[in-house]
Amino acid sequence: MPHGVTVIKCGGSGAIGIAEICADVAKLRAAGERTLLVHGGADEIDRLAAQLGVQAQTTVSPDGRQSRYTSPPMLDAMMLALTGRVKPRLLAALKVAGVPAVGLTGLDAGLVTAVRKQARRAVRDGRPVMVRGDHSGRITAVDPAVLHVLLDAGFTPVISPPAGDCGGAPLNVDADRLAAAVAVALRARRLLLLTAAPGLLRDATDSGSVLARCELPDEALLAYAATGGMQRKLIAADEALRGGVGAVHIADGRVPEPVLAAVGGAGTVLVRSSRRQA
């Protein structure tokens, strides 16, 4: 089917095959598919923060989820690492693959708007606390106009955090959820979350327990199967499917032809539960 949209989110682990992913992007494009890349880069952010002497801080929500606390210097480190290190690597790999690409963040042309998390509940040393001063946000809107201009002209957009608040100031947002929001805004037929795991594992310690397919929302799955980064992917997948994206694939970014393998059904395919379609 020509002229579908595929959004590919590349994981930040060094094991991810950037060159292989970008070579596959060239093949999808040659087949008429409109293709976008989204990236985060937690490892690179942590590395640069350490080099700059910026302390990494995390908070734990009442339901046990860890998140990065984005202080003003960490916001700088995040932007420098994503736009100065991770994105240029992807643009170089795309150039080698013969793909004309344009790097963007959510700040460009009002692409991604978020509302700042003013204060949120957290737990510290077993006691409830309010966390303030965090420069991260929840995505409220995507304006895909600039993406349409680029895609119409044959360019592959490469998108990362930050998003912008209503005044255009940067806010950190989760890259998986950013990818989901972009996929929804473009009515993408699929979102590929390529990561350093073979897919969604029923048991995170058993790499042979990959679930081939599952329907969301699956409350049980959301509640216990996944932790950390994978739990965030399930939330992003749920948002994408609710927003009308046809399928979300969580698949291995470390294998040969990672994109083609994922499209072909390797890893886990998440679809919207038919029971909740009404």
Ligand X SMILES: Nc1ncnc2c1ncn2[C@@H]1O[C@H](COP(=O)(O)OP(=O)(O)O)[C@@H](O)[C@H]1O
By CB under 6 A, name the binding residues for ligand X.
11-13, 195-197, 200-201, 204, 225-230
Site for Mg ion contains 41 (CB under 5 A): no
Beta strands in 152-225 (DSSP E): 156-160, 163-164, 170-171, 190-195, 213-216
Query: Which residue from 66, 82, 173, 228 is spatially nearest to 56, judged by alpha carbons?
Result: 66
> Closest distance between Mg ion and the C-beta of residue 176, in Å?
6
Residue with Cβ nearer ligand X (151 or 190): 190
Query: Which residue from 197, 179, 158 is spatially nearest to 248, judged by alpha carbons?
Result: 179
- DSSP string of 97-135, one letter each residue: TT--EEEEETTGGG-EEEEE--EEEEEETTEEEEEE---
Q: Which does 201 bind (CB under 5 to 8 A by kind): Mg ion, ligand X, none?
A: ligand X
Residue with Cβ nearer ligand X (16 or 188): 16
Q: How many residues bind Mg ion (CB under 5 A)?
A: 1
Give the DSSP letter of residue 122.
E
Residue facing ligand X at closest CB distance: 229
Residue span binding Mg ion (CB under 5 A) among the ranges 58-66, 151-159, 225-233, 237-245: 225-233
Residue with Cβ nearer Mg ion (178 or 185): 178
Tell me the one-letter amino acid at 50.
A
Residue span binding Mg ion (CB under 5 A) among the ranges 1-9, 148-156, 209-217, 228-236: 228-236
**How far is the first Cα of the chain from the last one, in angstroms, to the nearest whole number?**
27
> Closest distance between ligand X and the C-beta of residue 195, in Å?
3
> Closest distance between Mg ion and the C-beta of residue 213, in Å?
22
Site for Mg ion contains 229 (CB under 5 A): yes
Q: Which residue has the tokens 């805004």?
A: 185
Residue with Cβ nearer ligand X (13 or 71): 13
Bridge partners of 156, per DSSP, are 101
> Closest distance between Mg ion and the C-beta of residue 232, in Å?
6
Instruction: Say how far apart CA 168 and CA 109 lie, in whole Å.
Output: 10
> Closest distance between ligand X and the C-beta of residue 130, in Å?
26
Q: Which residue has the tokens 């992913």?
A: 21
Instruction: Say how far apart CA 164 and CA 136 lie, in whole Å.
Output: 10
In contact, 144 and 151? CB cutoff 8 Å: no
Residue with Cβ nearer ligand X (9 or 29): 9
> Closest distance between ligand X and the C-beta of residue 148, in Å?
27
Site for Mg ion contains 253 (CB under 5 A): no
Query: Both tokens of residue 3?
Result: 């002229």
Tell me the one-letter amino acid at 175.
A
Applying CB under 5 A, which residues contact Mg ion? Answer: 229
